[in-house]
């Protein structure tokens, strides 16, 4: 059941006044435009394109299930002051979008990255996102080619919103897109080193539907049902049988979706269980140079390649740190 977010008018005014008092200005004295984002990978992609030219706020805390995240009353202030709101779309941020529709400024531009990146015919439905629920798998950013499109859409959006800094946004985007291209190629090369019979993914959360077609692997199963509850005993038994039949060398969990069930499945199927795969939780602490979208994907491919019998050494030369100025 979704909870309704209510905020007293006087409290909202107080929050807005506090945030307004903290307006950030550029070195030239001009007020920076306010950009609001949602999940951490998107926030980081925007940060690399925007550099220091915007006031950027990511709404969804890291380590939080983005599918069930409910905005807090204080988040209304960020929504109502944003000049640009950049979200993933494809029904990922439904509670947030309800608040955006009723609280954003009339002049604010709302950009859904995934909707502009793929057509409806390319939406993927799977175990965690079945067709009968109508919510497609939204995890496009795990395909680096799609992340590159996200960066391009972000660049064009910021240029429209803040044309005075067009040159900076375009320069930042060019540098970042070159790094993403290098990352994309490294992942492709790494997966080619994995024995073909091992290029199979079994994960807890069904996040990799757009990753595998790009990099030559197959998602053969996911543990978490579409209602994000624990799997049934029948689901567990079925997956154990499938793992044994297909001789999958490893299964992957994540820190955002801890599950003792996946560990149990690994033991009973006789495969390695690795719980460090990430789909929207950036590695390291905030100031760590690995705490980026590139850092997350670099760590993911190194983890996968090692576990599946491949080599990801080609990813070592990729600098994961932020590049936008």
What separation in angstroms does the CA of 82 have from each of 23, 73, 112, 289, 316? 12, 16, 15, 27, 38
At 302 the three-state DSSP class reads helix
User: SS3 for 276?
Assistant: coil
The span from the CA of 82 to the CA of 19, in Å, is: 11
pLDDT (0 to 100) of residue 28: 56
Q: Distance between the two ends of the chain, CA-based, in angstroms?
A: 43
Tokens of 265: 């499945």
CA 139 vs. chain centroid, Å, equals 6
> pLDDT class for 25, splitting at 50, 70, 90?
low
Interval 63-70 mean pLDDT:
75
In sequence order, the β-bridge partners of residue 58 are 37
Cβ distance 206 to 128 under 8 Å? yes
Q: Give the whole-angstrom CA distance, residue 194 versus residue 6.
A: 51
Q: What is the pLDDT of residues 170-187, one digit of tens each?
A: 999 999 999 999 999 999
pLDDT tens-place string over residues 268-277: 888 888 888 8
Q: Which CATH number is 30-181 given?
A: 3.40.50.1980
* Residue 2: per-residue pLDDT: 33
pLDDT > 90: what percent of the chain? 60
Give 107-151 pLDDT, tens digit per residue.
999 999 999 999 999 999 987 788 888 889 999 999 999 999 999
Considering only the C-alpha atoms of the chain, give the largest distance between any 2 of them, rounded to a whole number of Å: 65
B/e letters for 151-173, b = 16+ CB within 10 Å, e = fewer, are bbbbbbbbbebbeebeebbebbb
In sequence order, what E strands does the chain have? 33-37, 54-58, 84-87, 109-112, 200-203, 218-222, 250-252, 272-274
**Parts of the chain belonging to CATH 3.40.50.1980:** 30-181, 194-315
Architecture per CATH, domain 194-315, reads as 3-Layer(aba) Sandwich (3.40)
Band of residue 197 on the pLDDT scale cut at 50, 70, 90: very high
Q: What is the pLDDT of residue 266?
A: 84
Query: Measured on CA atoms in the order 306, 229, 218, 186, is the torsion positive or negative?
Result: negative
d(CA 83, CA 85): 7
pLDDT for the residue 256 = 61
Distance CA 26, CA 23 (A): 10
For 288-300, give one letter per residue: b (16+ CB within 10 A) or e.
eeebbbbbbbbbb
Contacts of 80 (CB under 8 A, 6+ apart): 16, 103, 104, 105
Token couple for 140: 């496009």
For residue 301, give both structure tokens.
Answer: 């491919």
**CA neighbor of 85 nearest in space, from 106, 64, 61, 62:** 106
Whether this prediction's pTM lies above 0.85 is answered by yes
- The whole-number average pLDDT for the span 292-316 is 96
Contact 134, 110 (CB under 8 A): no
């Amino acid at each position: 059941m979704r909870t309704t977010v209510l905020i007293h008018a006087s409290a909202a005014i107080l929050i807005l006044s506090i945030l307004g008092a903290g307006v950030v200005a550029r070195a030239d004295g001009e007020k920076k435009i306010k950009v609001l984002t949602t999940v951490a990978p998107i926030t980081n992609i925007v940060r690399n394109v925007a550099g220091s030219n915007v006031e950027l706020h990511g709404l969804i805390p890291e380590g939080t299930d983005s599918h069930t995240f409910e905005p807090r009353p204080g988040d209304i202030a960020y929504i109502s002051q944003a000049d640009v709101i950049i979200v993933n779309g494809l029904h990922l941020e439904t509670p947030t979008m309800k608040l955006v529709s009723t609280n954003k400024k009339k002049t604010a531009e709302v950009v859904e990255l995934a909707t502009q990146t793929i057509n409806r015919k390319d939406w993927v439905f799977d175990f965690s996102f079945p067709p009968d629920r109508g919510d497609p798998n939204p995890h496009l950013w795990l395909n680096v080619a799609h992340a590159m499109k996200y960066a391009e859409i972000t660049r064009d959006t910021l240029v429209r919103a803040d044309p005075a800094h067009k040159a900076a946004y375009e320069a930042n985007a060019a540098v970042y897109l070159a790094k993403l291209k290098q990352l994309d190629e490294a992942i492709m090369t790494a997966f080619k080193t994995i024995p073909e019979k091992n290029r199979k993914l079994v994960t807890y959360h069904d996040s990799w539907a757009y990753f595998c077609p790009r990099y030559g692997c197959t998602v053969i199963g996911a543990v978490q049902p579409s209602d994000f509850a624990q799997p049934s005993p029948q689901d567990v038994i079925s997956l154990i049988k499938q793992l044994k039949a297909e001789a999958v060398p490893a299964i992957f969990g994540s820190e955002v979706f801890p599950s003792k069930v996946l560990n149990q499945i690994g033991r009973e199927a006789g495969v390695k269980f690795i719980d460090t795969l990430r789909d929207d939780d950036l590695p390291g602490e905030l100031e760590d140079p690995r705490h980026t979208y590139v850092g997350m994907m670099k760590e993911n491919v190194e983890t996968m390649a090692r576990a599946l019998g491949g080599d990801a050494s080609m990813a070592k030369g990729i600098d994961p740190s932020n590049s936008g100025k």
